[in-house]
Structure 1
Amino acid sequence: MSDASFAFLVHPRAHLAPDLGLVWAPLARVPERYYDLALRKLPLRPFTMAAVHIDGRRVGRIVMVPYGARHLLEDPVEGRARVHRAVDVAARAGADVVGLGALTATVTRGGLSLTGRTDIGVTNGNAFTAATVDSQARRLLDGLDGLNGLNGTAGVLATAGRRVAVVGASGSVGAAVSELLAADGGLDHLSLIARSRPRLEALAERIAGRVPTTIGTDLNGLAEADLVILLTASADALVRPDHLAPDAVVLDATQPRNTAPDLLEARPDVRVVDGGIVSIPSLRLTGGDLGLSHGRAYACFAETALLALTGHTGHFCLGVPTLEQVAHVRALAADLAHLGFTPAEPTSFGRPLATAATVPA
């Protein structure tokens, strides 16, 4: 493995107090409204919140951008400035590559606003996220991942069909996942859903002839899907119970999440699977955490680690990942397979899928 180091940028998600409690537990007790005001108004500086250890070695750090998900989406100019300052922190700390977590990628246009940096490599993590979501989706479509027998349902998707809807299909990860799923023509139908119709039309043209495809700009298209893949940049739980087909499976790879636990109360027939999560058994964080159990990481984080551990220099994935970049980062993961870097065992709202038939607390 290389001796290069990395930094990974994070920010508080839709609920500020719980995420800031990951930095220091007492912070979770501060009322939400105070955080909202402080993060909007105060010139808070980015800071290192955790050290990253893999295979017993310190290989990186996690840098907190003190700006919430809604703040980033509502004021992307200020959000972008704060992300750039966090990249400065990473560079001064000696990181060779920095990864953009969650909406730090969105407000920098997938990292394109950082292309002028020559002091540090930048990646948005979307190539390995697309690879991981594609792998998870294919296993779900084959009726695997522990769904068999859950609540008495055998082979959920294997028997229901292979109709897939990708929400956020025109985005960086969504476009790549759509192309990956269409590559072998193994689907019955692919529904591409996003706000930008021209970009959807361009994507549909690229995959034309490989799978029957429709496009749409609202969530009504979910009613015909056996598998729904969520890949949007939103701070809200977008998917309602009435959007989904009977016995649908939802693969939610968004941060902040586009699903809420109460969805399962209204629709006990529906399965929600946490998407874009990778297993790295020797991963340990000291000083803070990402809200995942030990040995698990988001795929965008894993991409940053893969690049550093294999000695990559310069920028990697900026903007929409190419299929060549997806193949390359998959090859890097294969080279480091002894460390993991494979899709994690499935969970639903952080709980093992086999015990997720009841609504998460």
Structure 2
Amino acid sequence: MSTAAPFAFLVHPRARIAEDLARVWRPLGRVPEGLVDAAVRRLPLPPYAMSRVTLDEAPVGHVVLVPFGARHLLSEPHEGRARVSRAIDLAARLGAGVVGLGALTATVTAGGATLRGRTDIGVTNGNAYTAAIVEDQLLDLLAGAPERRVAVVGATGSVGTTLVRLLARAGSVDSLLLVARGTARLEALAAEVGGRVPTTTSTDIHDVRGCDAVVLLTASSDALLGAEHLAPGALVLDATQPRNTSPDLAVARPDVTVVDGGVVAVPGMDLRGGQIGLPRGLAYACFAETFLLGLAGHRGHFSTGVPTLDHVEHVRGLAQRFAQHGFAAAAPTSFGRPLELPAAVR
């Protein structure tokens, strides 16, 4: 039987770089954002082991900071890949058997596909468990809803493609609207799943106004979804990091329910050192996938590129195997605050 092995998980500053880096070194929170942004972009800053992960007080892994912001990763992907590679080198030196790609570190490496040649450490993008948890959350939100017209924004990405396949396999929604930039990939995915659930495609986010629920899975450094895009009473499940909704949306549209997506409860987990923007005992699903692989003593690569449904079932099996530690969708929150769901979506 495999025994647990240390894991590592990569993170990076999001939209507000100074604020995020202040979780590692508090004085940075008092430095002007523009100055910190320029320093992070221009200086050859090394990766940093920002926190140690513990489970029931026992050390199990590390969080490694990639010192490059969200906008930097998207606008300078070559440099971004180089910085991710150096962070993985550090993870290997820390003794990790598998490393997870957090947020846009997955995007700039094509979901880890560009890292498949590494033999010193396993890589996973965490997207199999993310798709599984988002599906669980979505179906919970839609339980009892009179209509289940669902839009998936970022449908042709790694998580989006897997989620669409899961929803089509389950036959749990009335229709799907797939939204992404590239028409060819959209049409191919729609043709694949259209025989199981009525499916349409669009490259225009305004078209989600015809849907009851919107799942956000796009790779963007800024808020993308606005009040003008949504139908009355719409449900929004934002599983993006950096997130694609703003708290202003809840103010402008009090009829809309915005739910934080892809968050997993692991009550005995703690981070000793810098935090990653979630309360103690909560983890992003991509982090939780890496955690589960570490607990299982997994060796080699796991989910790179687009996860298969077999990947999803395997990681769901691991979550059941280690269920004594939690590993289930967290109680619903909206912008980090506990959410009392309307009666219609309980």
Query: Cα distance, 1:355 vs. partner?
Result: 9.1
Is the 2:156–2:180 contact (alpha carbons within 8 Å) kept by the matching residues of 1? yes
Name the structure 1 match of 2:101. Answer: 100
AA partner of residue 34 (structure 1)? L
Q: Distance in 2 between matches of 1:335 and 1:59?
A: 17
AA partner of residue 195 (structure 1)? R
Q: Does 1:54 align with 2:55?
A: yes
Q: Distance in 2 between matches of 1:305 and 1:346?
A: 21
Q: Does 1:211 align with 2:197?
A: yes
Q: Does 1:305 align with 2:291?
A: yes
Tell me which of 197, 200, 204 is aligned to 2:183. Answer: 197
Superposed, 1:203-352 pairs within 5 Å as 203-352=189-338
> Alpha-carbon deviations, 1:258-287, whole Å to 9, x = none?
000001111110010000000000001011
AA partner of residue 127 (structure 2)? N
Query: Cα distance, 1:212 vs. partner?
Result: 0.7
Is the 2:139–2:172 contact (alpha carbons within 8 Å) kept by the matching residues of 1? no
Tell me which of 151, 162, 170 is aligned to 1:176. Answer: 162
Q: Does 1:5 align with 2:20?
A: no
Q: Distance in 1 between matches of 2:125 and 2:252?
A: 35
AA partner of residue 308 (structure 2)? T
Q: Distance in 2 between matches of 1:347 and 1:27?
A: 28
Query: Cα distance, 1:168 vs. partner?
Result: 0.0
Name the structure 1 match of 2:340. Answer: 354
AA partner of residue 326 (structure 2)? G
Name the structure 1 match of 2:39. Answer: 38
Query: Cα distance, 1:55 vs. partner?
Result: 2.4
**Runs (4+) of structure 1 moved beyond 2 Å?**
none
AA partner of residue 232 (structure 1)? T
Is the 2:52–2:272 contact (alpha carbons within 8 Å) kept by the matching residues of 1? yes
Q: Distance in 2 between matches of 1:346 and 1:49?
A: 28
Partner secondary structure for residue 294 of structure 2? helix
AA partner of residue 128 (structure 2)? A
Name the structure 2 match of 1:151. Answer: none
Name the structure 2 match of 1:121. Answer: 122
Is the 2:18–2:37 contact (alpha carbons within 8 Å) kept by the matching residues of 1? no
> Alpha-carbon deviations, 1:121-167, whole Å to 9, x = none?
00000000000001101101105xxxxxxxxxxxxxx14x1000000
AA partner of residue 56 (structure 1)? E
Partner secondary structure for residue 312 of structure 1? coil
AA partner of residue 216 (structure 1)? S
AA partner of residue 126 (structure 1)? N
Partner secondary structure for residue 122 of structure 1? strand
Alignment identity in percent? 62
Structure 2: stretches of 5+ with no match in the other structure:
none
AA partner of residue 6 (structure 1)? F
Name the structure 1 match of 2:17. Answer: 16
TM-score w.r.t. the length of structure 2 is: 0.97
> Alpha-carbon deviations, 1:68-123, whole Å to 9, x = none?
00000000000000000000000011111000000000001111111111110000
Q: Distance in 2 between matches of 1:20 and 1:271?
A: 30
Query: Cα distance, 1:42 vs. partner?
Result: 0.4
Q: Distance in 2 between matches of 1:277 and 1:181?
A: 19
> Alpha-carbon deviations, 1:166-211, whole Å to 9, x = none?
0000000000001111112232211000001111111111112111
Partner secondary structure for residue 177 of structure 2? strand
Query: Cα distance, 1:11 vs. partner?
Result: 0.1
AA partner of residue 228 (structure 1)? V
Q: Does 1:64 align with 2:65?
A: yes
Q: Distance in 1 between matches of 2:79 and 2:340?
A: 43
AA partner of residue 255 (structure 1)? Q
